[in-house]
Amino acid sequence: MDLATLVGMLGAIGIVLAAMLTGGSALVFVNIPSLLIVLGGTFMVVMIKFSLGQFFGAFKVAARAFVFKVDSPEALIEKIVSLSNIARKEGMLALENEEIENEFLNQGIQMLIDGNNQEVIQAVMSKDLQQTIDRHKWGAKVYSAMGDVAPAMGMIGTLIGLVQMLSSMDDPKSIGPAMAVALLTTLYGAMLANMVAMPIADKLTLRKADEGRIKAMCIDGVLAIQAGQNPRIIESMLKTYLDPKKRAESSDSGEAMEDAA
Residues 36-88: tens digit of each pLDDT: 999 999 999 999 999 998 899 888 888 878 877 778 888 999 999 999 999 98
| 151 touches 220 (CB < 8 A) | no
| 111 touches 102 (CB < 8 A) | no
Q: How many other CB atoms are found less than 10 A from the CB of residue 13?
A: 13
Residues of the domain holding 13: 1-30
Same domain (yes/no): 26, 48 = no
Please report the pLDDT score of residue 259 as a whole number: 45
Same domain (yes/no): 80, 2 = no
Please report the pLDDT score of residue 258 as a whole number: 45
Residues of the chain with pLDDT under 50: 253-261
Same domain (yes/no): 2, 118 = no
Same domain (yes/no): 43, 117 = yes
Separation of CA 183 from chain center: 32
Please report the pLDDT score of residue 248 as a whole number: 63
Same domain (yes/no): 22, 37 = no
How many domains is the chain built from? 2
Q: How far apart are CA 198 and CA 42, in angstroms?
A: 13
> Taking the model in full, what pTM does it have?
0.79
Please report the pLDDT score of residue 124 as a whole number: 94
Classify residue 50 as exposed, middle or buried by CB count within 10 Å of its CB (0-12, 13-18, 19+): middle
Same domain (yes/no): 85, 13 = no
Same domain (yes/no): 3, 123 = no
Buried b (16+ CB within 10 A) or exposed e, 51-90: eeebbebbeebbebbeebeebebbebbebbbebbebbbee
Same domain (yes/no): 1, 84 = no
Q: Half-sphere exposure of residue 6, counting CA atoms within 13 Å on the CB side?
A: 8
Same domain (yes/no): 77, 26 = no
Same domain (yes/no): 137, 254 = yes
Q: How far apart are CA 167 and CA 178, in angstroms?
A: 10
Same domain (yes/no): 11, 129 = no
Same domain (yes/no): 2, 40 = no
